[in-house]
């Protein structure tokens, strides 16, 4: 932890000049970070510039992570785990690209990355004044939030009208203190080019996930295509490789301890300005429930697919995602308990309240903030057990019930007066229908049935006062058997057919009920309680966001120091030096791992089953030009002090000259509390070294032509 900080560090309110490593900074803030003094050897205006092309133009949001252009022909590189879903969807028992890897020897052989959209940032601008003006008539936070949504819908329509390849979004900074409009160009034709075998791209598996030392070749190459006129379009044989304004050049030199690095990417979500109430809620209520659910579902998947490779491929994407999040949550709980994080928050808030109550004006303005927020949490806590189970029906109880709930919810929403409907409903419906192909692609009936039975059992076991009354028509029957009902429902429902499901999106609730489909019947019975829970959570969200905005206003007034907004999937900048760390007393981790270390871990069994081609290269010392002159070995990964979180996966790591040196793919287990606080001593980004990426592509993948396309020479 920061040894010299008091409780102040818990809120990450920092002096930018003192700690360059901390902060996921907005692009329009980086000119204040004194980056030249910290080691940057290029102009800040060449990193981000509204007037001319700059490095940020090479950064792409892709598949829940980040990627970057690395050639003038639209070639992009990201993490293997970011491209995992595309590889999985393209795989089958006969063409197992997950296990064996994939290589397109020429552009004609490149295959579609199903469901992947590359989003390239065109513009960002502050629209705070416009949105605040639109929210003025609102009498309470819920009404203000509704007015905000209406204004945003108008803004999006203005930007997107007549442009199928443009997407506009509005993101809140500092809980609404600032509002920014982001405009993106969409490319819906993304194709797989080269993915290493699973035993390289996921070497170490969940055993090594979030751990250091790490030896994972976490990378994949893809390509962005566009229509001949340069517009983004769906997959089409007439499409051509996109020619980006800017692409990253791979570094020619080597890396060493202490080198300056920086990252641009799309970090997903952090909570560094939250109160003790939010910490307590997540530590003692949210994380434990999620960990238990994920562990159970992973166990079901593994037991049902142990001897079924086709089934294992189908469930692999879900299992990998759940396992990754589960270990992250476990790390957060461990770190919070180890550091007594909740008590430190309480101590900080005690100091805050002493300041707030220090004079009558501040007391009137800020004295009830924390108490009001706690009351909001208490309100949603009354039905949390029930709401947790209802949430499972929507996404972790099998495909049929999930699709049924989507279809019924859309029908119910359409039947509301237009003024009460969710903004952008029809766009959301279209997106849902478009994505059904991927939902059905991953369907594996034994698994889906098993997790449906699990959720029904959890529903039946809810305590009095938390019961889901809508399902009493089933659960209260004498001698009712959940297993028997599930078997009959899966046998009789037509929702295992995507074509049938698509026909239901235009039907009314009355027409849906008339079908007498067992899953739609459940969706209809759950609808009232689902809508009630949704309304409660919407009110909670609106109220607590308004309170958190007040809290940040108070922090600004109290401390008056530089701040960066919490991550929210918008492009951010972070920098720091290559550096090892001490995970425990008398232990020091070097910042580099090597091919020798990979071989030392090898057992021949998953997850440490390095491919024989890689082992032979090592045995023959056939390293080509990828040997580090100091290590006398091929470098695999490195740690550095950049500040990242989920969504940064695949982000390009650049050196002081803006050259590509690696791909960020993980954080370290000792600092998984990082979404809540930054830890200068322990927090590290783990990145795969581009020298290893290129070594594998050239020597294992026989993809040397990609290096030539990238202009790589050493």
- Give the Cα separation of 642 and 330 in Å (integer): 22
Q: Are 593 and 633 in contact (CB under 8 A)?
A: no
Instruction: Give the pLDDT of residue 427.
Output: 85
475 and 443 share a domain?
Answer: yes
- Give the Cα separation of 623 and 486 in Å (integer): 56
- Give the Cα separation of 288 and 373 in Å (integer): 22
Please name which of 232, 252, 254 lies closest in space to residue 241, comparing C-alpha atoms: 232
69 and 154 share a domain?
Answer: no
N- to C-terminal Cα separation, the chain: 40
Tokens of 630: 């100091």
346 and 373 share a domain?
Answer: yes
Please name which of 685, 568, 59 lies closest in space to residue 267, comparing C-alpha atoms: 568
Is 205 within the bounds of a domain? yes
- Give the Cα separation of 84 and 219 in Å (integer): 10
408 and 284 share a domain?
Answer: yes
Coil vs helix vs strand at 96? coil
Angle, CA 253 vertex, CA 247 and CA 258 arms, to 5°: 100
- Give the Cα separation of 373 and 44 in Å (integer): 40
- Give the Cα separation of 594 and 507 in Å (integer): 59
Q: Are 99 and 682 in contact (CB under 8 A)?
A: no
- Give the Cα separation of 81 and 319 in Å (integer): 12
Tell me which residue has tokens 């990828």. 626
Angle, CA 336 vertex, CA 330 and CA 339 arms, to 5°: 135
Instruction: Give the pLDDT of residue 561.
Output: 67
Tokens of 340: 């007594």
Is 316 within the bounds of a domain? yes
Is 192 within the bounds of a domain? yes
Q: Are 265 and 644 in contact (CB under 8 A)?
A: yes
Side-chain-facing half-sphere of 194: CA atoms under 13 Å: 23
Angstrom CA distances, 401 to 295, 428, 449, 468, 534, stand at 21, 19, 10, 16, 18
433 and 454 share a domain?
Answer: yes
Instruction: Give the pLDDT of residue 452.
Output: 98
Tokens of 118: 């590359």
Instruction: Give the pLDDT of residue 19.
Output: 46
- Give the Cα separation of 562 and 575 in Å (integer): 16
CATH number at residue 662: 2.40.10.120
Per-residue H/E/C for 362-392: HHHHHCCHHHHHHHHHHHHHCCHHHHHHHHH
- Give the Cα separation of 449 and 481 in Å (integer): 14
Is 122 within the bounds of a domain? no
183 and 311 share a domain?
Answer: no
- Give the Cα separation of 405 and 519 in Å (integer): 8
681 and 595 share a domain?
Answer: yes
Tokens of 22: 């901390």
Coil vs helix vs strand at 300? helix
Please name which of 184, 188, 214 lies closest in space to residue 200, comparing C-alpha atoms: 214
What is the gyration radius of the CA atoms in the chain, in angstroms? 26
**Which ranges of 161-282 does DSSP label H, i.e. alpha helix?**
198-201, 205-208, 276-281
Is 437 within the bounds of a domain? yes
Is 291 within the bounds of a domain? yes
521 and 425 share a domain?
Answer: yes
- Give the Cα separation of 439 and 520 in Å (integer): 17
469 and 455 share a domain?
Answer: yes
Angstrom CA distances, 308 to 200, 314, 614, stand at 22, 10, 27
Q: Which long-range contacts (CB under 8 A, 24 or more apart) does 44-52 make?
A: 46/658, 47/262, 47/264, 47/573, 47/658, 48/573, 50/123
67 and 192 share a domain?
Answer: yes
What residues of the chain score a pLDDT lower than 50?
Answer: 1-20
Q: Are 241 and 107 in contact (CB under 8 A)?
A: yes
495 and 599 share a domain?
Answer: no
Domain boundary among 506, 528, 556: 556
Please name which of 20, 44, 9 lies closest in space to residue 576, comparing C-alpha atoms: 20
Domain boundary among 509, 524, 556: 556
Torsion of CA 658, 664, 670, 673, to 10 degrees: 90
Total domains present in the chain: 3
330: enclosing H helix or E strand: helix 309-338
Domain with 328, as residue range(s), is 276-556
Q: Find the length of the chain.
A: 714
Catalytic residue IDs: 81, 218, 649
**DSSP letters spanning 461-484:** TPPTTS--GGGHHHHTSTT--HHH
Burial class (CB in 10 A: 0-12, 13-18, 19+), 629: exposed
CB within 8 Å of 463: residues ≥ 6 apart: 385
What are the tens digits of pLDDT across the range 374-394?
999 999 998 999 999 999 999
**DSSP letters spanning 492-512:** H-STT-HHHHHTTTT--HHHH
pTM above 0.85? yes
Domain boundary among 526, 556, 586: 556
- Give the Cα separation of 565 and 559 in Å (integer): 16
Is 130 within the bounds of a domain? no
Is 6 within the bounds of a domain? no
293 and 412 share a domain?
Answer: yes
Q: Are 112 and 228 in contact (CB under 8 A)?
A: no
Number of H helices, E strands in the chain: 26, 19
């Amino acid at each position: 932890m920061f040894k010299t900080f008091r409780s102040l560090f818990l809120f990450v309110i920092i002096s930018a000049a003192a700690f360059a490593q901390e902060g996921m900074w907005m692009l329009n803030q980086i000119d204040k970070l004194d980056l030249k003094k910290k080691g940057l050897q290029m102009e800040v205006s060449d990193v981000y510039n509204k007037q001319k092309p700059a490095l940020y133009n090479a950064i792409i949001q892709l598949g829940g992570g980040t990627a970057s252009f690395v050639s003038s022909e639209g070639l992009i590189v990201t993490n293997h785990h970011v491209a995992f879903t595309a590889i999985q969807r393209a795989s089958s028992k006969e063409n197992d690209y997950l296990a064996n890897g994939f290589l397109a020897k020429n552009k004609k052989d490149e295959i579609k990355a199903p469901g992947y959209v590359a989003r390239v940032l065109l513009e960002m601008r502050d629209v705070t004044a416009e949105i605040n003006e639109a929210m003025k008539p609102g009498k309470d936070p819920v009404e203000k939030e509704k007015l905000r949504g209406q204004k945003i819908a108008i803004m999006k329509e203005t930007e997107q009208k007549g442009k199928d390849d443009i997407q506009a979004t509005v993101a809140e900074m500092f809980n609404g203190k600032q509002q920014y409009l982001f405009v993106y160009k969409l490319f819906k034709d993304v194709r797989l080019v080269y993915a290493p075998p699973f035993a390289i791209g996921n070497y170490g598996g969940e055993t090594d996930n979030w751990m250091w030392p790490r030896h994972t070749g976490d990378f994949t190459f893809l390509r962005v295509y566009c229509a001949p006129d340069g517009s983004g379009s769906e997959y089409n044989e007439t499409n051509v490789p996109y020619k980006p304004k800017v692409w990253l050049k791979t570094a020619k030199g080597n890396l060493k301890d202490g080198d300056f690095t920086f990252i641009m990417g799309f970090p997903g979500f952090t909570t560094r300005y939250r109160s003790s109430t939010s910490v307590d809620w997540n530590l003692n209520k949210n994380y434990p429930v999620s960990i238990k659910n994920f562990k159970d579902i992973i166990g079901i998947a593994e037991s049902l697919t142990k001897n079924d490779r086709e089934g294992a491929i189908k469930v692999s994407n879900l299992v990998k995602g759940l396992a990754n999040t589960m270990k992250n949550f476990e790390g957060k709980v461990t770190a919070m308990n180890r550091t007594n994080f909740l008590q430190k928050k309480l101590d900080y808030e005690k100091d805050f309240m002493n300041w707030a109550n220090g004079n009558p004006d501040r007391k009137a303005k800020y004295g009830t903030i924390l108490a009001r927020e706690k009351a909001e949490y208490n309100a949603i806590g009354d039905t949390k057990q029930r709401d947790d189970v209802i949430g499972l029906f929507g996404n972790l109880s099998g495909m049929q019930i999930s699709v049924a709930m989507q279809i019924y919810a859309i029908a119910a929403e359409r039947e509301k007066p237009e003024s009460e409907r969710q903004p952008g409903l029809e766009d959301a419906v279209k997106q849902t229908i478009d994505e059904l192909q991927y939902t059905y692609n991953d369907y594996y009936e034994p698994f889906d049935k098993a997790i449906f039975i699990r959720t029904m059992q959890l529903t039946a076991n809810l305590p009095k006062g938390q019961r889901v009354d809508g399902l009493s028509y089933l659960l209260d029957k004498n001698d009712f058997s959940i297993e028997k009902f599930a078997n009959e429902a899966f046998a009789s429902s037509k929702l295992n057919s995507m074509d049938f499901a698509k026909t239901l999106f235009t039907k009314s609730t009355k027409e849906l009920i008339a079908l007498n489909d067992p899953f739609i019947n459940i969706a209809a019975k759950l609808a009232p309680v689902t809508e009630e829970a949704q309304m409660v959570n919407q009110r909670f969200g609106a109220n607590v966001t308004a309170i958190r905005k007040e809290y940040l206003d108070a922090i600004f007034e109290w401390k008056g120091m530089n701040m960066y907004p919490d991550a929210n999937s918008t492009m951010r900048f972070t920098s720091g030096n290559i550096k090892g760390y001490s995970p425990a007393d008398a232990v020091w981790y070097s910042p580099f791992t090597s091919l020798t270390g990979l071989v030392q871990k090898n057992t021949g069994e998953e997850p440490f089953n390095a491919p024989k081609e890689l082992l032979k290269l090592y045995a023959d010392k056939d390293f080509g030009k990828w040997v580090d002159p100091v290590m006398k070995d091929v470098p695999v990964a490195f740690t550095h002090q950049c500040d990242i979180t989920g969504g940064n996966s695949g982000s390009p790591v650049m050196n002081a000259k803006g050259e590509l040196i690696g791909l960020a793919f993980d954080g370290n287990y000792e600092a998984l509390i990082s979404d809540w606080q930054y830890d200068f001593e322990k927090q590290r980004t783990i990145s795969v070294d581009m020298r290893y990426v290129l070594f594998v592509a050239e020597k294992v993948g026989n993809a040397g032509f990609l290096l030539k396309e990238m202009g790589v020479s050493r």
